Amino acid sequence: MPGYKMHIAGAAAVTGAAVAGASWLGFYRPGFETSICLGLFSVLGGLFPDVDTDSKGRRFFYGAALVVDGFLIFREQYRYAAVLGFCALLPAIGSHRGWTHSWWAALLIPSSVLLAPMLLLGLPWKPFIPYYVATVLGYFSHLLLDRKF
Protein backbone atom coordinates (compact mmCIF):
# COMPACT_ATOMS: atom_id res chain seq x y z
CA MET A 1 0.00 0.00 0.00
CA PRO A 2 1.53 3.36 -1.03
CA GLY A 3 2.37 5.84 1.70
CA TYR A 4 1.76 9.55 1.69
CA LYS A 5 5.02 10.31 -0.14
CA MET A 6 3.99 8.08 -3.05
CA HIS A 7 0.55 9.71 -3.13
CA ILE A 8 2.18 13.16 -3.23
CA ALA A 9 4.49 12.07 -6.05
CA GLY A 10 1.65 10.42 -7.97
CA ALA A 11 -0.60 13.46 -7.72
CA ALA A 12 2.20 15.80 -8.76
CA ALA A 13 3.18 13.57 -11.70
CA VAL A 14 -0.36 13.19 -13.04
CA THR A 15 -1.17 16.88 -12.77
CA GLY A 16 2.23 17.93 -14.06
CA ALA A 17 1.71 15.74 -17.13
CA ALA A 18 -1.81 17.12 -17.63
CA VAL A 19 -0.67 20.75 -17.36
CA ALA A 20 2.30 20.09 -19.66
CA GLY A 21 0.03 18.38 -22.19
CA ALA A 22 -2.58 21.14 -22.06
CA SER A 23 0.14 23.75 -22.44
CA TRP A 24 1.79 21.91 -25.33
CA LEU A 25 -1.58 21.65 -27.10
CA GLY A 26 -2.22 25.34 -26.47
CA PHE A 27 -5.40 24.55 -24.55
CA TYR A 28 -4.31 25.99 -21.20
CA ARG A 29 -1.07 27.82 -20.39
CA PRO A 30 -0.84 28.75 -16.72
CA GLY A 31 1.94 30.93 -15.37
CA PHE A 32 4.54 29.64 -12.95
CA GLU A 33 2.63 30.68 -9.80
CA THR A 34 -0.61 29.17 -11.08
CA SER A 35 1.20 25.94 -11.96
CA ILE A 36 2.55 25.72 -8.40
CA CYS A 37 -0.95 26.30 -7.00
CA LEU A 38 -2.38 23.63 -9.31
CA GLY A 39 0.27 21.24 -8.02
CA LEU A 40 -0.69 22.02 -4.42
CA PHE A 41 -4.38 21.45 -5.12
CA SER A 42 -3.49 18.18 -6.80
CA VAL A 43 -1.44 17.05 -3.80
CA LEU A 44 -4.32 17.94 -1.48
CA GLY A 45 -6.64 15.86 -3.65
CA GLY A 46 -4.11 13.04 -3.61
CA LEU A 47 -3.94 13.00 0.17
CA PHE A 48 -7.64 13.46 0.98
CA PRO A 49 -8.84 9.85 0.57
CA ASP A 50 -6.78 8.80 3.60
CA VAL A 51 -8.38 11.27 6.02
CA ASP A 52 -10.27 8.29 7.43
CA THR A 53 -7.00 6.90 8.89
CA ASP A 54 -4.38 8.17 11.30
CA SER A 55 -2.22 9.73 8.59
CA LYS A 56 -0.29 12.88 7.79
CA GLY A 57 -3.05 13.81 5.36
CA ARG A 58 -5.62 13.56 8.13
CA ARG A 59 -3.60 15.74 10.49
CA PHE A 60 -3.12 18.33 7.76
CA PHE A 61 -6.76 18.44 6.70
CA TYR A 62 -8.18 18.62 10.21
CA GLY A 63 -5.60 21.23 11.18
CA ALA A 64 -6.59 23.32 8.15
CA ALA A 65 -10.29 22.79 8.89
CA LEU A 66 -9.73 23.99 12.46
CA VAL A 67 -8.02 27.18 11.25
CA VAL A 68 -10.68 27.90 8.62
CA ASP A 69 -13.51 27.13 11.06
CA GLY A 70 -11.95 29.47 13.63
CA PHE A 71 -11.67 32.18 10.97
CA LEU A 72 -15.31 31.71 9.96
CA ILE A 73 -16.45 31.93 13.58
CA PHE A 74 -14.31 35.04 14.09
CA ARG A 75 -15.99 36.58 11.02
CA GLU A 76 -19.39 35.55 12.46
CA GLN A 77 -20.04 33.25 9.51
CA TYR A 78 -21.66 30.64 11.74
CA ARG A 79 -23.63 28.90 9.01
CA TYR A 80 -20.50 28.24 6.94
CA ALA A 81 -18.58 27.22 10.06
CA ALA A 82 -21.31 24.69 10.83
CA VAL A 83 -21.27 23.35 7.27
CA LEU A 84 -17.48 22.96 7.40
CA GLY A 85 -17.72 21.20 10.77
CA PHE A 86 -20.39 18.85 9.41
CA CYS A 87 -18.34 18.08 6.30
CA ALA A 88 -15.23 17.47 8.41
CA LEU A 89 -17.14 14.71 10.21
CA LEU A 90 -18.11 12.86 7.03
CA PRO A 91 -14.86 10.86 6.59
CA ALA A 92 -15.53 9.28 10.00
CA ILE A 93 -18.60 7.60 8.48
CA GLY A 94 -17.45 4.36 6.96
CA SER A 95 -14.34 2.24 6.98
CA HIS A 96 -10.89 2.85 5.53
CA ARG A 97 -10.99 2.60 1.76
CA GLY A 98 -14.73 3.01 2.00
CA TRP A 99 -16.59 5.90 0.43
CA THR A 100 -13.51 8.16 0.38
CA HIS A 101 -11.97 5.68 -2.07
CA SER A 102 -14.78 5.84 -4.65
CA TRP A 103 -14.94 7.45 -8.09
CA TRP A 104 -17.96 9.55 -7.15
CA ALA A 105 -16.17 10.98 -4.11
CA ALA A 106 -13.25 11.89 -6.41
CA LEU A 107 -15.67 14.09 -8.38
CA LEU A 108 -17.85 15.33 -5.51
CA ILE A 109 -15.33 16.21 -2.77
CA PRO A 110 -13.24 18.54 -4.99
CA SER A 111 -16.39 20.46 -5.95
CA SER A 112 -15.76 22.48 -2.80
CA VAL A 113 -12.95 24.12 -4.80
CA LEU A 114 -15.67 25.57 -7.06
CA LEU A 115 -18.33 26.19 -4.44
CA ALA A 116 -16.35 27.77 -1.59
CA PRO A 117 -15.15 30.88 -3.50
CA MET A 118 -18.61 31.32 -4.97
CA LEU A 119 -20.55 30.95 -1.73
CA LEU A 120 -18.09 32.54 0.69
CA LEU A 121 -16.65 35.33 -1.44
CA GLY A 122 -19.23 35.83 -4.18
CA LEU A 123 -16.65 35.05 -6.87
CA PRO A 124 -17.53 33.40 -10.19
CA TRP A 125 -16.82 29.68 -10.33
CA LYS A 126 -15.34 29.43 -13.83
CA PRO A 127 -11.84 30.71 -12.96
CA PHE A 128 -11.57 27.89 -10.41
CA ILE A 129 -12.17 25.08 -12.92
CA PRO A 130 -8.42 24.38 -13.38
CA TYR A 131 -8.06 24.01 -9.60
CA TYR A 132 -11.03 21.65 -9.49
CA VAL A 133 -9.54 19.57 -12.31
CA ALA A 134 -6.14 19.48 -10.56
CA THR A 135 -7.79 18.34 -7.32
CA VAL A 136 -9.76 15.64 -9.16
CA LEU A 137 -6.61 14.44 -10.94
CA GLY A 138 -4.79 14.21 -7.61
CA TYR A 139 -7.71 12.33 -6.07
CA PHE A 140 -7.88 9.87 -8.97
CA SER A 141 -4.11 9.33 -8.78
CA HIS A 142 -4.64 8.20 -5.19
CA LEU A 143 -7.32 5.74 -6.26
CA LEU A 144 -5.08 4.41 -9.05
CA LEU A 145 -2.14 3.93 -6.69
CA ASP A 146 -4.39 2.13 -4.20
CA ARG A 147 -5.77 0.03 -7.09
CA LYS A 148 -9.29 1.20 -6.37
CA PHE A 149 -10.00 2.50 -9.85
Please tell me the predicted confidence (pLDDT) of residue 59: 84
Domain ranges for the chain, please list them: 4-145
**Among 121, 120, 21, which Cα is nearest to 80's?**
120
- Of 18-27, 52-61, 97-106, the least confident: 52-61
User: 62-87 burial, b if ≥16 CB within 10 A, otherwise e?
Assistant: eeeeeebbeebeeeeeeebbebbeee
5, burial (CB in 10 Å: exposed 0-12, middle 13-18, buried 19+): exposed
**Among 75, 74, 97, 72, which Cα is nearest to 87's?**
72
Whether the CB-CB separation of 120 and 68 falls below 8 Å is answered with: no
Q: How many CB atoms lie within 10 A of CB 14?
A: 22
Which is higher by pLDDT, 132 or 1? 132
Q: What is the DSSP secondary structure assignment for residue 102, as one 8-state letter? A: S
Q: In this predicted model, what pLDDT tens digit does every residue of 66-119 receive, in sequence order?
A: 898 899 899 898 888 888 888 777 777 766 667 888 899 999 989 988 988 888
Q: What is the pTM of this model?
A: 0.82
Mean pLDDT value of segment 135-144: 95
d(CA 145, CA 43): 13
